[in-house]
Structure 1
């Protein structure tokens, strides 16, 4: 009964008055969700009575699967095709166009923002590898660029986080193939940092990660079994040179300490080879030290073999072999021979570009099964190490020199600057990594 109804005089005298029965057929307590008000409902059901039962829930007629039912009627990803076929088409779109795909509609944005889309590209062999270069300008500011080897273009990227726009001695590594991490380093004003951030090549955005356990800069870092290791470095204080080490597990999303190094060290070169992490650097008294870390035993071992003696930067381990560059501009490639415990000449490009700082080879990374040499002037060389017996003159694809569009002008600028005696380099590469998406 409506609570606003007043008792009749007969009810006040004690007479029992029977309430009028509610016609269940004409009770329309918002059964039709399209009838927003009772006034609207009365237009379609003239003469019907109001449902005056206060305990009736107006949402009782809505099903629990309303969200699921709405999803059944959402527009398809591609008109005229089931979603599974539409996804099979979308995963074949080149990576350079993915930014545009995210702008089409919300469903496309959610699809490309998740892991399912890129896991399909990876499983079907359609994922593309791009080279990401982090540079320091002449004024000390950090910028970065992505090189698309398919189109040979440098693609725009979102700015680096503000805490790394002017940082020094920070680390850079890739986890899960698509996440680029920046960690540690020294802020010009605040000193050494524990901060960790990472960029996702799938979402094209920066994210925060747990801080390191120890503040440090100018340290060594590597990735083994998709875990991030850092060791040594420097920090302000009494004990300036560090010997502590730690590891980050992305599955557990936390850092933990590992065994300390044998002696404090500031590494200047490092590589993972044969399941071990090799580091070479300067000790507390500026002496040259070399150590290797064995993850299975969690132990550090001093080393002084032929590999360390002829080891130069940059270097890389690929397909079970250890490679290093043998000239300033990366015109020669050497390989380490375990049988003789020495470095041997591997491939010679027969083309010496010059000895200026602008043409100096700054990084050596794997790219689509080949070795990629990145120089400070952003020029790129691709080396096919699978056929080292062939001569460069007879096989032009063995060693290819590439200049990305928009950076050819820098080659001539650096050349004429060196001739004019102005050897000042506008910028130089700090880190270089490869991300897949």
Structure 2
């Protein structure tokens, strides 16, 4: 790699964007050079363009240590020029990011390099602190809030537990954030803290290895659904706090990472909820969004009607960004979309196919299903998935599309988190059975008592 740059004070000099490098067809703007008392380069004996070409070809896993070589190396490795060059050369790497919750108000995020099967812990996330002071609540308010969101979504468990302990709403632990990815960064949206629905948004930049607070959402919301569509982040549904308890939200909003601006979406009409036979049922059953997936250029949002402790599936709706409007989801897709838990439905898109995981009635298995849009039905492609359906967990298992394959993230009874992938023997996909499936363990790590919250894949 050449000699190490001297430890003298180094300052970045502005880039000369008129000079071109001569690497065959990969001609690009000249990268930053550095100077202190005399002219300095990233690697003293090489032009900076060649140094960047070398750095771009190194695995990302080494970047954290290489930043310690010198200030010049740190600036180069964290620069947007290096990440842009990696994209141009087709050298980006997909890493899996897993968000966990260990203690009240504490979230931890880990990144998995699937090539070297190494985990890295991200810097601590900023504290989720609400500026709204808690106020006293009557017993009636407690039960009105309790009756809005069910125990499977965890809010009712929190409220019920805190009521019995005679704690105030201001003691509710942080929960209910949603996670998305855009433009090579990880985003965390909202959540509940001290019984207040937050509108804050935090962004993790893997090149800088830092969390930053960005433009807040228009509305505070917890347990919302987030997805990326056409380079923009959409956040819909969830719950907020109303005068008499928790209020299910029909609203949605979209974030443009390039401008940092949020815009409102038209409200979800919940058209199937409007045909309830009586006004009493319409008042008792609360419509909520239970999931979301970006599929075929649109947002697919399964929905339910809720009255604690029961959920009634009512299909779902599709948002078309071109028309800026909602339409009813096909019956087979919406009504057959399996629930991970009551009130939550999981869906990921891999190679333009929509997948989900349906847990069995037992506590140690499930099925991976794929949606057939031509026949409007869900088909089982992996009949036996070794997952543990911990009903007390906020997310007992997760799905991720990594390197074009569906992966399952789950915790074993011994607290080992496993990332596993099913391999079909002899490519028998039309009639899969447990006998012709082998499960490969991509990675395993003991996370102690930490609960799974969410996961995303970043290609950087």
Q: Same fold (TM over 0.5)?
A: yes
* Cα distance change on mapping 1:257 and 1:353 into 2, 3 Å: closer
* Cα distance change on mapping 1:403 and 1:287 into 2, 3 Å: same
Pick one of 266, 280, 288 that aligns with 1:266: 288
Mapping for residues 132-211 of structure 1, pairs under 5 Å: 132-137=97-102, 141-163=106-128, 166-176=173-183, 178-188=184-194, 191-211=196-216
Pick one of 398, 402, 411 that aligns with 2:442: 402
How far apart are the structure 1 equivalents of 2:405 and 2:38?
47
* Cα distance change on mapping 1:265 and 1:272 into 2, 3 Å: farther
Kept in 1, the 8 Å contact 2:94–2:458? The answer is yes
Kept in 1, the 8 Å contact 2:371–2:379? The answer is yes
Name the structure 2 match of 1:436.
459
Kept in 2, the 8 Å contact 1:326–1:333? The answer is yes
Segments of structure 2 that go 5 or more residues without pairing to the other structure are 1-32, 131-172, 271-285, 339-344
How far apart are the structure 1 equivalents of 2:433 and 2:129?
41
**Higher Rg:** 1
Pick one of 101, 104, 118 that aligns with 2:83: 118
Name the structure 1 match of 2:29.
none
Name the structure 1 match of 2:380.
345
* Cα distance change on mapping 1:355 and 1:70 into 2, 3 Å: closer
* Cα distance change on mapping 1:358 and 1:144 into 2, 3 Å: farther
Pick one of 315, 331, 350 that aligns with 1:305: 331
Kept in 1, the 8 Å contact 2:389–2:396? The answer is no
- Aligned pair count reads 350
Report the CA distance between 1:156 and its aligned residue: 1.8
- What RMSD over aligned residues (CA atoms) do the two structures have, in Å? 3.2
Is the partner of 1:104 in helix, strand or coil? coil
* Cα distance change on mapping 1:184 and 1:130 into 2, 3 Å: same
Kept in 2, the 8 Å contact 1:218–1:266? The answer is no
* Cα distance change on mapping 1:138 and 1:196 into 2, 3 Å: closer
Report the CA distance between 1:283 and its aligned residue: 3.9
Report the CA distance between 1:399 and its aligned residue: 4.2
* Cα distance change on mapping 1:124 and 1:188 into 2, 3 Å: same
Is the partner of 1:192 in helix, strand or coil? strand
Name the structure 2 match of 1:372.
407
The structure that is strand-richer by fraction is: 2
CA deviation profile, 1:316-356 (whole Å, cap 9, x unmatched): 1122211122445566422111222111121346x746555
Kept in 2, the 8 Å contact 1:174–1:433? The answer is yes
Kept in 2, the 8 Å contact 1:347–1:388? The answer is no
* Cα distance change on mapping 1:333 and 1:163 into 2, 3 Å: same
Name the structure 1 match of 2:166.
none
Segments of structure 1 that go 5 or more residues without pairing to the other structure are 1-67, 411-425
CA deviation profile, 1:149-203 (whole Å, cap 9, x unmatched): 1121221210111117952211210011x211111111125x1111111010111
Kept in 2, the 8 Å contact 1:132–1:433? The answer is yes
How far apart are the structure 1 equivalents of 2:116 and 2:381?
29
> Are 2:242 and 1:242 aligned?
no
How far apart are the structure 2 equivalents of 1:319 and 1:249?
24
Kept in 2, the 8 Å contact 1:358–1:428? The answer is no
